[in-house]
Amino acid sequence: MSLQLLDAGLVHANGHRALRGVSLEINAGERVAVIGPSGAGKTSLVRVLGASLRPTEGQVTIAGTDPWSLSAGALRRLRARIGVIHQSAPIPPRLRVVTAVLAGRLGRWSVWRSLVSLAAPSDATGARDALALLDLEDRLFDRCDHLSGGQLQRVGVARVLYQRPEVMLADEPVSALDPTLADQSLAALVAASETYKATFVASLHAVDLALKWFPRIIGMRNGEVAFDRPPAAVTRDMLHELYATEGRLLPYQGVEQQHEERPANVVQLKRPGCQ
């Protein structure tokens, strides 16, 4: 599924301007990381791309159509094809892990199946398989309030893996994880996007993860696109300028990479026909 923004701007209801004249074209199956300091508009960008926020200026096009001109039913069906991973997983604490993961497919299930599945999980195998990719399969029947913050974030990732959407949008999907788990979770998401040919857009605070896993990096600052290029063309100076407000150190998730000049080996798109 392709995504386009044409001169999109967003002013929140409280008058705060989050996006300014953003134009992007993301092809179906492409993998894009959005980086930038906090408050740069990364979250707003991801939410506009997912038809959760309506741009106040300009145009958004998802899969070739303007989502805001669709009927309510068509918009709902379009949203069911988009999976969003939130920074803090929006999962009620009393829900069991299996139910939280299965909720990913509510957009495709009948109301009757949703109701029955609440009592007896209708696809426990599917939920377990999604959790297994994140090393969480042993927590399948635990309640979510018995999980740590990092585990809950991975349940949120598992939900989207189970949803199997055509576009995966992630807003700081690994912010609560340690470097190893963050890397593993991103690997699972990247693998899923490869397997299901899903477009994958992630906002990341950690520059090293962005440079490692994504063949296209968009730098955001003050609600504008500062740069949009492959990781090999992203220089240290560009990064330092991007994060100028956050001091001299660049935000890294790992430890060793702090000294590296350039990402060693970028994980490239494997499918032919993309890029």
By the criterion CB under 8 A, which residues form the site for other proteins? 50-54, 68, 70-72, 75-84, 86, 90-95, 99-100, 103-104, 106-109, 111, 114-115, 118, 163, 165
Q: How many CB atoms lie within 10 A of CB 204?
A: 27
Question: Among residues 8 and 53, whose Cβ is nearest to other proteins?
Answer: 53
Least distance between other proteins and beta carbon 214 (Å): 23
Question: Among residues 63 and 70, whose Cβ is nearest to other proteins?
Answer: 70
Least distance between other proteins and beta carbon 170 (Å): 13
Identify which of 10, 44, 26 has the alpha carbon closest to the alpha carbon of residue 220.
44
Identify which of 151, 174, 161 has the alpha carbon closest to the alpha carbon of residue 97.
151
From edge to edge, which strands make up the β-sheet containing 17-26? Answer: 17-26, 3-11, 57-62
Question: Among residues 68 and 245, whose Cβ is nearest to other proteins?
Answer: 68
Least distance between other proteins and beta carbon 164 (Å): 12
Question: Among residues 76 and 262, whose Cβ is nearest to other proteins?
Answer: 76
Counting Cα atoms < 13 Å in the Cβ hemisphere of 215 gives 16
Distance between CA 157 and CA 135 in Å, rounded? 12
Distance between CA 197 and CA 44 in Å, rounded? 24
Least distance between other proteins and beta carbon 60 (Å): 11
